């Protein structure tokens, strides 16, 4: 299968490496960066969970023409960068291709559909997905696999078809265990609840994931955040159980104990976080369905305030305004 992975961050690099190892015709597409240059020069260094290191030859580029002839495009950029990342590829991606988002939060599929639509109204089919795989970027040209997990993919309004099943099989054979499901929205909201509970609290407290489970105050705050997300999901017709979600938050926090959430990494780097697509999206959806979410509102405001303190964030936002 001819595949383009959009986003040369930790997860994009990991998924592209797994597909390349399995012999798929994969290209990693990303912005020019020292990381991308290192991959082009030396291949990607993949550090496994047991510490083993291996070099993976991988085609990496910033040339949008790389999407020409793609059968599958997997999007793994930060949620706020979705439209900007996919727009240069719009004309190159074949109409018959499938575009799969494995990003965090809500709104990514809608952003892809809007950005990929051509003047004649045609666009590739957009598929939804979530993954509990975890990875961190190391030095330029290096990615560290920090957590194994399951990936679920589905279609917005129908059950799995032959295309979806083939994609799930391709990812699974490549070492990214994947299931094609008929209730993808429940999977998306379930992961949203876990992210909404863990990410902002670890970022604000400056602690690894395990503290969400071991610290009494953080555990209580995480449970409150998760229950609010569950209430909004239920109001949207998504069948989630609050007790099950709270248990999942604690399970994930323990299983990824030494990991530092991506939101914490972003704040430490002075970068923009995904708060708007995670807790901010819960606030927006809560207002739409008239479900109060005061805890999600509070952490959204606090993370946004932390972002504004960063010179790097301010420079980034100014450059986007200028563009």
Active-site residue numbers?
Answer: 191
- CA distances (Å), 304 to each of 70, 199, 203, 263, 307, in order? 37, 13, 12, 11, 5
Q: Which residues pair with 152 in a beta bridge?
A: 130, 179
Instruction: Label the pairing between strands 53-56 and 25-29.
Output: unpaired
Residue found by looking up tokens 């059950």 in the block? 159
What are the DSSP calls for 113-131, one per residue? HHHH--TTS---EEEEEEE
CA distance 3 to 26: 5
Nearest of 207, 205, 180, 203 to residue 267 by alpha carbon: 203
* Residue of 152, 148, 197 whose CA lies nearest to 50: 148
Alpha-carbon distance of 283 to 279, in angstroms, equals 6
Cβ neighbors of 237 (< 8 A, separation 6 or more) are: none
Give the H/E segment covering residue 227: helix 216-235
- 134-137 and 72-75 strand pairing: unpaired
Q: How far is CA 235 from CA 176, 204, 225, in A?
A: 32, 28, 16
Are 49 and 10 in contact by the 8 Å Cβ rule? The answer is no
CB atoms within 10 A of CB 47: 17
């Amino acid at each position: 299968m001819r595949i383009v992975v959009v986003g040369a961050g930790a997860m994009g690099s990991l998924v592209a490496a797994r597909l390349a190892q399995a012999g798929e015709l994969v290209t990693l597409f990303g912005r020019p960066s020292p990381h991308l240059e290192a991959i082009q020069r030396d291949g990607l260094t993949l550090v496994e969970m047991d510490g083993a290191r291996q070099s993976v030859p991988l085609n990496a580029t910033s040339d949008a023409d790389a999407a020409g002839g793609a059968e599958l495009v997997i999007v793994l950029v930060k949620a706020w960068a979705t439209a900007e990342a996919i727009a240069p590829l719009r004309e190159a991606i074949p109409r018959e291709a499938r575009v799969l988002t494995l990003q965090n939060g809500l709104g990514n599929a809608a952003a892809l559909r809007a950005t990929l639509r051509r003047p004649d109204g045609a666009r590739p089919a957009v598929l939804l997905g979530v993954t509990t795989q975890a990875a961190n970027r190391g030095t330029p040209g290096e990615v560290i696999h920090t957590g194994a997990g399951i990936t679920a993919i589905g279609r917005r309004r129908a059950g799995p078809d032959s295309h979806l099943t083939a994609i799930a099989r391709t990812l699974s054979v490549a070492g990214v265990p994947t299931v094609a499901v008929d209730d993808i929205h429940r999977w998306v909201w379930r992961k949203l609840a876990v992210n909404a509970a863990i990410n902002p609290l670890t970022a604000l407290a400056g602690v690894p994931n395990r503290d969400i489970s071991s610290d009494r105050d953080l555990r209580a705050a995480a449970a409150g955040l998760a229950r609010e997300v569950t209430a909004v999901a239920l109001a949207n017709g998504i069948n989630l159980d609050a007790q099950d979600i709270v248990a999942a938050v604690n399970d994930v926090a323990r299983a990824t104990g030494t990991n530092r959430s991506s939101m914490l990494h972003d704040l430490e780097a002075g970068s923009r976080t995904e708060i708007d697509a995670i807790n901010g999206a819960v606030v927006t959806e809560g207002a739409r369905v008239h479900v109060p979410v005061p805890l999600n509102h509070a952490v959204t405001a606090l993370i946004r305030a932390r972002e504004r303190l960063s010179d790097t964030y301010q420079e980034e936002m100014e450059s986007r305004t200028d563009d």
